[in-house]
Amino acid sequence: MSALPKIYRGNSTPLPDAELAALIDAYPKPSRLSEYSYGTAGFRYEASLLPCAFVRMGIFTALRSASLGGEEVGAMITASHNAERDNGMKLADSHGGMLDADWEEHAVSLANAPDSKHVLALMRTLANRVGTTAPDGKFPPMVVHIGRDTRSHSTPLAELVIRSARAMGATVIDHGTVTTPMLHHFVMHANGHMLPMCIPQRCNEGGYYEIVAMSYAALLRTGGTIVGVGGGCRRLPSASTLVIDGACGIGAIKVDEFRRIFARLSDEGCTVGLPSLRVVNFPGDGPLNVDCGAEFVQKQQSPPKFYGDSASGASRQYVTSFDGDADRVVFHYEDGGGEFHLLDGDKIAVLVSSFIQDELRCIDPDGTAVKCGVVQTAYANGSSTLYLKNVVKTNVVIAKTGVKFVHAAAHHHFDVGVYFEANGHGTVLFGPKFYDFIASAEARLRGTPRHDRANIALRRLRVLPALVNQSVGDAMSDMMLVDAILFLRGWDLSTWASLYSDMPSKQAKIKVADRTVITTNDNETAATAPVALQIALQAAMDAMATQENAKDGPKPRCFVRPSGTEDAVRVYAEANTQKGADSLASEAMILIHKLCGGVGAPPQPLITNRL
Ligand code: 16G
Ligand code: MG
């Protein structure tokens, strides 16, 4: 059952300095850590290193809310796909997306200030700079939403954040255990003036389920009205039971709620196309993110372990895996011969963007009214990029790795911007031109037969902005979007998988003394330093292209980048054969070791067994 949040009302007046100082000094900087750094997705460390930073982040989030004139912000306590021992914080800005890049440095300064005296001084400087302190010491209203995942230390860590935000006089809304995208949704909806008119404002858990489930059911229902297709779409037996691997994390608990909601929808007669949901890998069934979940499945290219589940293989023909905080999703299945097939973020981008574009063209055959496009990262498989450009015929932009970068690019470049990282992070953003398009189509199509294809397309497009979580990628709503599209297309995972074949690829990582010696261009497709590294990588790619002599399709490709979440350099290579990809990645590893201060013995050649 969805719980209501616990609300602690604040009076906008911070505690006296001495009391704030006592709270800050009770959680000194850990001696084992030289500095906190703000990674790709916020702070993420071994949990015992975090209390100091978290007390200060309670203060920080309150200040951020104050700086926005009382708009509501959020903090999510999670380390996503990391092991259980780690924890972290993702910060949600008032638009619901990730913290504005300009404020990351303030978060880092506060986290790293040597003691309470410095924290308070920084806090005053920041407050004065953004003009938030009144002469009586009162701040504008401040509201901070808090969510946490199922890790054992998430509750005590969340309590620290709540304590310090309250010490600032902020109102704190504690949502308890939720997924990361739910917390982002609450924040986006709490600042309701930013929502487009067609999305009802619902800023709690029950409202979240309602929006997602109702718009999903509405999208499925449009499949019941296709003229000339035998009365409507049918669910293929191989897509009738959707098995959800919850990574032994929060996503399993939350997605299980939809089983109840679907039962209610069925009772109410909304039965078109609803699948059976079967959730496996709940918290406690097995260790969080170990041998299961999206990270494991995508990186290992193998099926997850189904802890405590003895169902027959047949029910596993249609499986989706979430990561530990349910902000990403991949699909997969084993075919009749037991071969594993992964449908990753690239495949989702292809499915979603071609669906939206097809529906738009039913109303606007020239495809000129709304600019659609897909944002990928350098990790996108070359075959997917080629398919998007040549078959879907859409615009493609390659952006830097990390949700905050792909999200910003989708927003910047397109009226309907689809973004998915290969690892399954992604969503769709709808801009003002899309809403204008819908409004004018509604006016134009009013009175035309309901079963006309343009009318059906309009009904489909109209529910999408509510179904997708536009604040951030969301495993639950992405899963339903994908499932609805498959249903409307009459496909199962194998039809979807057969749209194009991935180029064989290889990913690896290597330790160097200082990974910042490697810098890259804006979208990370080439290294800018050390200069010799890129020259050697290019020579290796050219040699592989000659060796493989493949005429069509994407060329062998390799890039390297310092990780934003780990102390390592990441390597990606793809080629026309697995052997070629392995060899290119091995060569890159050797070059990094030689030219960038590799730690330990030179790396051994990489060999993928599944040739
Ligand atoms: C984080 C990012 C993800 C990115 C990954 C790259 C968010 C919410 N998550 O998990 O988008 O793909 O980092 O990790 O932004 P890396 O820098 O270690 O390769
Ligand atoms: Mg995650």
Enumerate residues 6+ apart whose C-beta is below 8 A from 130: 63, 66, 67
Q: Which fold has domain 345-473+491-497?
A: Alpha-D-Glucose-1,6-Bisphosphate; Chain A, domain 3 (3.40.120)
Cα separations (Å) of 105 from 10, 108, 175, 367?
Answer: 26, 5, 27, 42
* Residue having the nearest C-alpha atom to atom 19 of ligand 1: 563
Cα separations (Å) of 524 from 223, 326, 559?
Answer: 41, 26, 7
Ranges of each domain in the chain:
6-177, 206-342, 345-473+491-497, 505-595
| Spatial CA neighbour of 35 closest among 529, 567, 510 | 567
Tokens of residue 297, six digits: 């499945």
Low-confidence ranges of the chain (pLDDT < 50): 227-230, 314, 611
- Token look-up 């199922």 returns 150
pLDDT computed for residue 314 by the predictor: 47
Active site residue 164: no
C-beta 524 within 6 A of ligand 1? no
Residue type, 517: V
The CA distance from 27 to 36, in Å, is: 14
Question: How many CB atoms are closer than 10 A to CB 459?
Answer: 16
C-beta 425 within 6 A of ligand 1? yes
Sign of the dihedral through C-alpha 335, 339, 340, 345? negative
Question: How many CB atoms are closer than 10 A to CB 550?
Answer: 16
The catalytically annotated residue of 12, 80, 215, 471 is: 80
The CA distance from 282 to 256, in Å, is: 10
Q: Maximum Cα–Cα distance for the chain, whole Å?
A: 75
Question: How many A from CA of 129 to the centre of ligand 1?
Answer: 31
Question: How many CB atoms are closer than 10 A to CB 69?
Answer: 13
Which of the listed residues 98, 180, 565 should we mutate to test ligand 1's pocket, taking the one with most ligand atoms within 8 A of CB? 565
C-beta 97 within 6 A of ligand 1? no
Rg from Cα positions in the chain: 25
* Residue having the nearest C-alpha atom to atom 4 of ligand 1: 402
pLDDT computed for residue 230 by the predictor: 45
- Token look-up 């616990």 returns 6
Per the CB < 8 A criterion, the answer to whether 415 and 372 are in contact is yes
Give every strand in the sheet of 86-92, ordered side by side. Answer: 6-8, 171-177, 143-148, 72-77, 86-92, 43-46
C-beta 421 within 6 A of ligand 1? yes
The DSSP 8-state label assigned to residue 170 in this structure reads -
Architecture of the CATH domain 6-177: 3-Layer(aba) Sandwich (3.40)
DSSP annotation string for 513-558:
S-GGG-EE-TTSSSEEESHHHHHHHHHHHHHHHHHH---SSPPPEE
Q: What angle do CA 421, 426, 431 make, to 5 degrees?
A: 125
Could you tell me how far CA 483 lies from the centroid of its own chain?
18
Cα separations (Å) of 558 from 27, 162, 506, 541, 561?
Answer: 44, 45, 9, 7, 11
Cis peptide before 135 (omega within 30 of 0): no
Tokens of residue 426, six digits: 């992604």
The CA distance from 464 to 97, in Å, is: 18
C-beta 403 within 6 A of ligand 1? yes
Per the CB < 8 A criterion, the answer to whether 533 and 597 are in contact is no
* Residue having the nearest C-alpha atom to atom 10 of ligand 1: 41
Per the CB < 8 A criterion, the answer to whether 558 and 540 are in contact is yes
Question: How many A from CA of 40 to the centre of ligand 1?
Answer: 6
Q: Do domains 6-177 and 505-595 have the same CATH topology?
A: no
Closest-lying ligand 1 atom to the alpha carbon of residue 406: 11
Enumerate residues 6+ apart whose C-beta is below 8 A from 500: 350, 383, 384, 386, 387, 391
Which of the listed residues 401, 471, 516 should we mutate to test ligand 1's pocket, taking the one with most ligand atoms within 8 A of CB? 401
Number of the ligand closest to the Cα of 344: 1
pLDDT computed for residue 611 by the predictor: 41
Model confidence over 379-398: pLDDT tens digits? 999 999 999 999 999 999 99
Length of the chain: 611
Q: What is the CATH number of domain 206-342?
A: 3.40.120
Model confidence over 475-492: pLDDT tens digits? 999 999 999 999 999 999
Cα separations (Å) of 176 from 8, 40, 172, 179, 494?
Answer: 13, 24, 12, 10, 38
Tokens of residue 101, six digits: 């890049």
Pairing type for strands 171-177 and 6-8 reads antiparallel
Q: Which fold has domain 505-595?
A: TATA-Binding Protein (3.30.310)
The CA distance from 407 to 426, in Å, is: 8
Per the CB < 8 A criterion, the answer to whether 91 and 74 are in contact is yes
Question: How many CB atoms are closer than 10 A to CB 311?
Answer: 12
Per the CB < 8 A criterion, the answer to whether 195 and 268 are in contact is no
